[in-house]
């Protein structure tokens, strides 16, 4: 698992920041807008058995599980999934309560216990935002670059992570790390998840709105206040100046 680079080399961060800022000033040729969300397509989309998902139990509590059965054409909320958690307890989960879904590892043998399948994902879920392997400077720099895009009202997770840490788009487990980062209290300083829960949520098309500079400044102030009161996992170096 990637470790946190909280201290790191300030010269390295500075050089990377300058390089990315130079790229921003030179302009990016491609639009980064996420594909337009299609509610009808989302209603008809189902996830395969064996898929790994983060879901909620109806009480805003996230869980991880493996899809073991799919029922299409349910009366409410689209498809219904039978999901096994790490203790092999079964849950019936409506599509609208699926936060994020990832394909199964093709090397996983049939009959592998859910706890074994979910092990790496559970380790990620247990991390605090500052343990997910991305420096604060990179998150803020990525946000700055995203604000310059004309389509910043709705950007995909992949687009945002390509500005923050491109390697976090390469595999399901790293994509889950990215999801946990962007939806954490730290990620929420800079980005707001769209269609997060409810009938319009599509776990296969995670997207975010880039927050304004004013909103970010307010969130930074709240973060620093929480840090001062010991309510988050940051240290003095995490308080924005």
Q: What is the mean pLDDT of the chain?
A: 78
Place 225 in a pLDDT band, splitting at 50, 70 and 90. Answer: confident
Per residue in 108-146, pLDDT (tens digit) is 998 999 999 999 999 999 999 989 999 989 999 999 999
Contacts of residue 115, Cβ cutoff 8 Å, sequence gap at least 6: 86, 87, 88
132 and 184 in a single domain? The answer is: yes
92 and 138 in a single domain? The answer is: no
Instruction: Note the pLDDT of residue 12.
Output: 36
pLDDT average, residue stretch 94-115: 91
145 and 222 in a single domain? The answer is: yes
Across the beta sheet with 207-210, what order do the strands follow? 155-156, 207-210, 191-193
133 and 99 in a single domain? The answer is: no
207 and 233 in a single domain? The answer is: yes
69 and 102 in a single domain? The answer is: yes
């Amino acid at each position: 698992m990637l470790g946190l680079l909280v201290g790191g080399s300030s010269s390295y961060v500075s050089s990377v920041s300058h390089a990315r800022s130079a790229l921003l000033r030179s302009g990016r040729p491609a639009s980064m807008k996420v594909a337009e969300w299609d509610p009808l397509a989302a209603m008809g989309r189902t996830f395969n058995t064996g898929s790994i998902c983060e879901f909620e139990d109806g009480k805003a509590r996230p869980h991880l599980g493996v899809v073991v059965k799919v029922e299409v054409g349910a009366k409410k909320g689209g498809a219904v999934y039978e999901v096994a958690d790490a203790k092999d307890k079964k849950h019936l989960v409506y599509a609208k309560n699926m936060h994020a879904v990832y394909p199964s590892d093709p090397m996983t043998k049939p009959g592998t216990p859910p706890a074994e399948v979910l092990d790496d994902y559970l380790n990620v879920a247990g991390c605090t935002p500052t343990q997910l392997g991305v420096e604060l400077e990179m998150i803020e720099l990525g946000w700055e670059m995203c604000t310059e895009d004309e389509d910043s009202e709705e950007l995909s997770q992949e687009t945002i992570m390509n500005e923050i840490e491109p390697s976090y788009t390469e595999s399901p487990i790293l994509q889950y790390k990215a999801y946990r980062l962007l939806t954490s209290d730290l990620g929420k300083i800079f980005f707001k998840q769209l269609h997060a829960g409810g009938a319009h949520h599509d776990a296969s098309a995670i997207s975010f709105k880039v927050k304004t500079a004013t909103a970010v400044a307010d969130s930074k102030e709240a973060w620093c206040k929480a840090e001062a009161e010991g309510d988050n996992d940051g240290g003095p170096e995490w308080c924005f100046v």
